[in-house]
Amino acid sequence: MPTLADLLDAKNPSKSGQAMGTRFVDMIGEMAHNAGQKLKASRQLIQESAKEFPKYGPKTQEMANSLAEGYSPVGMFVPAELKLAYKASQLEKKGVDPKEIWNQLGLFRGPADKQWRQEISDKSAFLKGGPDFESVVMNRMKALGKDVTQEPMRVGDIMYHPELFAKHPELKDVEVQFLPKNHPAYGRMALEENGENILQIKPNLSSKDANSVALHELQHEIQDKSGFAVGGSSADFTHQDQALKSKNILQWRKEVEEQANRMGLSPLKNADWYSNAEQALIDKYHEWKAPDWLPHEDIRTLASSPAYSKGTDARTHAEQLSKLYGLDTKTTPDTAKQMYTRLGGEAEARQVQSRQSLTDQERQQYYPAEDRDLLKNPYGYDVPISNLLYLDNKGYAR
């Protein structure tokens, strides 16, 4: 599988917006905290309810009610605890609807990367120290007796988020800086030369907005180390011309191959099969009085190369690049902004922001892994799931 660097002839795809993250987390402890002694019974109920499938019997109903009382999905998306992921997979194999798995276990598969997720609470999260981000940092620095020139401020210094830090204590150590006020973004994860990510947020953002941005960017931290689909930046997707060129090469090559089939020509039997089929096709365009529809001579020359034969790497790469930019379904490539919006990691991080103020009951009600419907489900994905782009933390476009 080629990386974006391979497809786009770029050695180092931008990692702005990508992140560092964490390991599998212990959902059992979280559920025990919320559900108390009912957790022990729920383990047995899961096994008994599986025997009732495909019917929704009394044990299944009892399990759903038990787990619902202790279920508190309220915020950021993290890898599912391994035992729960196994149980969810078993229910999935039995044909249980994904929404029912969500109702029973609080787990769902990420639409882009297909990995099991759960939500942890960010309901109580806030930034400490002032009405805007600059005040937060400066006041907290003073309160902690820090000299910013000697010791950097970190997420744990400014953010109150006990649920997140209990699961991912390493996030407390992410360095915090001001983003220039004239920067077009509200915040970002800046990649340092030493490989560390730094959370940068505009100083003039309100504390509430800065908290939302911080949650977005910290979700990227979790994605990167968890193997989730990650975020990126518009700068990763500036090869529209190459994508369109790839599409035109492939389209002409396939037209010539189809013409060769109609003429009974084969590369195994006819040395000049391609040139003969191509000339016959060009003649047809002239007969149709549509010579302007012919691709440019440079495109036709490239398409005639054996490198674009069926099954070659060049052809595979051209197909992937064309599809990556949406040219498998339309005539114009997606813009850099559209590509950025389609990234599964970015869509997920935006979803974290949209769901941060929901009550526990609302979070359980609104299943995350579906397209957003402003009337029925305003808290799903804000781009069609079918259009999500899976970019992993090594720069591979999936």
Provide DSSP, 64-129: HHHHHHH----EEEEEPPHHHHHHHHHHHHTT--HHHHHHHHS-EE-TTT--EEEEEE-TT-EE-S
Q: What is the C-alpha separation between 398 and 389, in angstroms, rounded? A: 7
Per-residue pLDDT tens for 356-392?
Answer: 888 888 888 999 999 999 888 899 999 999 999 998 8
Residue 353 CA, chain-centre distance (Å), reads 15
pLDDT at 59: 60
CB-based contact 283:224 (threshold 8 Å): no
Residue 108 · residue 145 · CB < 8 Å: no
Q: What phi-psi label fits residue 179: left (phi over 0), alpha (psi between -120 and 50 degrees) or beta? A: beta
Q: Give residue 340's pLDDT.
A: 94
Mapped onto helix, strand or coil, the DSSP state of residue 168 is: coil
The model scores a pTM over 0.85: no
Q: What is the pLDDT of residue 76?
A: 87
Is the preceding omega at residue 73 within 30 degrees of 0, hence cis?
no
Residues in Cβ contact with 57 at an 8 Å cutoff, skipping those fewer than 6 apart: 49
DSSP string, 313-354: HHHHHHHHHHHHTTTTT-SSPPPHHHHHHHBHHHHHHHHHHH
CB-based contact 324:7 (threshold 8 Å): yes
- CA pair distance 77, 348, nearest whole angstrom: 8
Cα 308 to Cα 296: distance, rounded to the nearest angstrom: 17
Q: Are 45 and 62 in contact (CB under 8 A)?
A: yes
Among 166, 159, 84, 154, which residue's Cα sits nearest to residue 120?
A: 166
Check if the beta carbon of residue 208 is closer than 8 Å to that of residue 230: no
Tally of CB atoms within 10 A around 169:
11
Q: Do the Cβ atoms of 243 and 322 come closer than 8 Å? A: yes
Q: Which residue has the tokens 């500036």?
A: 238
Mean pLDDT of each 10-residue bin along the chain, 398 residues long? 37 32 25 33 50 55 43 66 94 96 95 93 86 96 87 95 90 94 90 86 95 95 92 90 96 97 94 96 96 96 95 94 92 95 95 88 91 91 93 75
CB contact burial 115-134 (16+ within 10 A = b; e otherwise): bbbbbbbbeebbbebbebbb
Q: How many CB atoms lie within 10 A of CB 20?
A: 22
Token pair listed for 109: 């598969």
